Amino acid sequence: MKSFKKSTLLIMIFSIATRLTSFLFKIYLSRRVGAEVLGLFQMAASVFGLFCTIAGSGIPLMLSRKTAALSAVKGKEQELNGVMTGAMALTLGLTSFLILGAVLFRDKLSLVFSDGRCVDLFYLILPALVSTMLYQLLRGYFMGKGRYFDYSITELLEEIIKVIVCLTFLSNAFIVLSDSVAITIAFTITDYAVMAILLVLYFVRGGRLARPTGVKDLARSALPVTGMRIVAGLLTSFIAILLPAALVRNGMSAGDAAAEYGRAVGMAFSLLFAPLSLTGALSVVILPEAAALAATGKQEELRNRINESILFVFLITVLFYALFFVLGESYGELLFDDRRAGRFVAFASGMVVPAALSGLLNTTLNSLGEEKKVFGAFLLSSLLLMLSVLFLPRYIGIYSLAVGECAFNLCEFVLGMVFLWRKGGYDARIFKPAAITITFAFPTALAAKLSLVLIEKAEVGIFLRAAVPSIVAILFYAALILVFKPIPQLKAMLLRKKKQEKRTSPIKKIFQRKGKMAV
Q: Is the dihedral of CA 15, 18, 24, 28 positive or negative?
A: negative
pLDDT at 349 over 50: yes
- Say which residues have a Cβ less than 8 Å from residue 481's Cβ, sequence separation at least 6: 315, 437, 440, 487, 490
Residue 256, amino acid: D
pLDDT higher at 459 or 272 = 272
DSSP annotation of 96: H
Residue 101: CB atoms within 10 A of its CB come to 13
Among the listed ranges 321-325, 326-330, 489-493, which one has the minimum average pLDDT value? 489-493
Do residues 326 and 469 lie in contact, with contact meaning Cβ atoms separated by under 8 Å? yes
Tens digits of residue pLDDT in 174-207: 655 677 888 888 888 998 998 999 899 989 888 8
From 232, 53, 203, 221, select the one nearest 141 (Cα to Cα).
Answer: 203
From 82, 87, 93, 79, select the one nearest 211 (Cα to Cα).
Answer: 82
Tens digits of residue pLDDT in 84-121: 888 888 888 888 888 898 888 887 777 767 667 788 88
From 288, 195, 205, select the one nearest 8 (Cα to Cα).
Answer: 288
Backbone angles phi, psi at 517, to 5 degrees: -70, 120
Backbone angles phi, psi at 246, to 5 degrees: -65, -35
Whole-number pLDDT of residue 355: 93
- Say which residues have a Cβ less than 8 Å from residue 50's Cβ, sequence separation at least 6: 230, 233, 234, 236, 237
Q: E strands along 92-135, which residues?
A: none
Whole-number pLDDT of residue 66: 81
| Average pLDDT rounded to a whole number, residues 307-313 | 86
Burial label for 372, CB within 10 Å (0-12, 13-18, 19+), is middle
Backbone angles phi, psi at 231, to 5 degrees: -60, -40
DSSP annotation of 265: I
Euclidean distance between CA atoms 404 and 396, whole angstroms: 12
Q: Indicate whether this model's pTM tops 0.85.
A: no
Backbone angles phi, psi at 7, to 5 degrees: -65, -45
pLDDT at 265 over 90: no
